[in-house]
Amino acid sequence: MGVVGLKYLELGRSGLRVSKIGLGTWQIGSSEWGWNRGYGVDDVVRAIARAHELGINFIDTAEIYGGGVSEEVVGRAIREFRDEVVIATKVWPTHATYDGVLKACERSLRRLGVDVIDLYQIHWPNPLVPLSSTMRAMERLVELGKVRAIGVSNFSLGRLKKAQECLRREEIASNQVKYNLVERGVEKGLLQYCEREGIALIAYSPLAQGFLTARYSASNRPRDLVRRLNPLFDPAVLRRAEPLMTLLREVAARHGAEPGQVALAWLIRWSRVVAIPGAKRPEQVESNARAADLELSDEEWGMLSEAASKVSIGIWPRLKTPLRLLGI
C-alpha cells in the first residue's frame, strides 16, 4: 500500500502539526487489553513503524499505560525517526501537585528516551488538587524546555476555560476526550468551543473500542477486561446497534472500505478533530490510516449521525456490566 491522503492540523497555536489520524497506545503493555495474549511487542513495534511509513506522525501514550511499558516501547520504536513524530503523553491525576507533575514528567522523559515531550497532557482532572498548581507546573515544564505544548484530557468545557485562565504565558493546545459516532457528549458545547477557538479536540476511543468496526455481535463479544467493562458490548446494546452496523457496512461497501474506516471518516470531518485509534498490529494501523482517503457525502454523514443517535445504551447495561465482573 502506498502513502495515504492524510491531512494535518496544528494543535492549537503550538506550531505542532499532526496527522488527523494518529495512533493510540493504551494497548501496549496493558493486560486489560489482552497484552501478550494474541498480540505483543513485535506486533506493536511493527505497527508504529508502519504508522510512520504511512505519514501518521502523532502518537499518544500515558505514564499509566501498562505501568510505563507503553512509553518505553513507543520510545524505542520511534528512536530512528524521533524528529518526525509528535509524541503526546499524560500525567496521571495522582501526580497532579506542582512537584508531582515535575517528577512525573522526568520519569516519562526517561522512559520515552527523549529530551522533550511534544504534548504533555493532564490525563484526568483531580478535584483534590488546586488546578492552578497543576497548570503552573505545566507552564514551568515549557519554560524548562521539557515540554513543547500543554494539553488536558477529560476536561469539561468549564474546566477547560478555568485551566486556560490559570496559565500566564501558554495556551492550551488540546483537550483529549471520548468521541465517536455512538458517544457524542462533546457535541453539547465542547466541540463547538474547540472548533471556534482553534483548540484541537483529540478524540479517544474513536472506534468505540472496536464496536464501530462491526466485527462484534451479541454472539461474538470480545473477552478482554476493557470491553467486559464497556456497556456498549452488552448483548442487548449490540442487538440494538444492528441497523447502525448494517448502515456502516453498506456505506463502507459503496466506498470499497471497511466499517471502521467509515466511523473514523465521520469523525475527522470536523476541522479541529484528531482521531487516535488504538491498534494492536500493523494491519489495523494501515486500515485506520486509509480512513483519510474516504470522503463521505453530506447525505451519508447525516444518515450515519441519525442511525447512531438511535443506539441508546440504557441504564441496565451500565449497571449490569460492573456488577457481572464482581460476580453479582
- Does 209 sit near ligand NAP (CB under 6 A)? yes
The one-character DSSP state at 242 is: H
Interaction residues for ligand NAP, span 10-39 (CB under 6 A): 24-27, 33
* Of residues 14 and 25, the one with the C-beta less far from ligand NAP: 25
* Of residues 26 and 266, the one with the C-beta less far from ligand NAP: 26
**3-class SS at 85?**
coil
Closest C-alpha among 76, 153, 45, 63 to residue 108: 63
Cell of 68: 510505563
Give the residue closest to ligand NAP by C-beta.
Answer: 24
Total number of residues that touch ligand NAP (CB under 6 A): 28
Query: Which segments of 187-229 are extended strands (E)?
Result: 200-204
CB of 221 to ligand NAP, least distance (A): 10
* Of residues 123 and 272, the one with the C-beta less far from ligand NAP: 123
Torsions phi, psi for 213 (to 5 deg): -85, -5
65: annotated active-site residue: yes
Q: Within a 10 A sphere around the Cβ of 62, how many other Cβ atoms?
A: 22
Residue of 68, 213, 257, 274 that binds ligand NAP (CB under 6 A): 213
Helix H or strand E segment including 132: helix 131-143
Q: What binding mask, one character per residue, do residues 49-88 give for ligand NAP by CB under 6 A, x or -?
A: -----------x----------------------------
- Does 175 sit near ligand NAP (CB under 6 A)? no
Tally the residues of the chain: 328
The one-character DSSP state at 183 is: B
Cα 186 from Cα 238, distance rounded (Å)? 23
Cell of 167: 496559565
* Of residues 3 and 328, the one with the C-beta less far from ligand NAP: 3
Report which residue type is found at 239: R
Question: Which residues are near ligand NAP by CB under 6 A?
Answer: 24-27, 33, 60, 123, 153-154, 176, 204-210, 213, 222, 260, 276-280, 284, 287-288
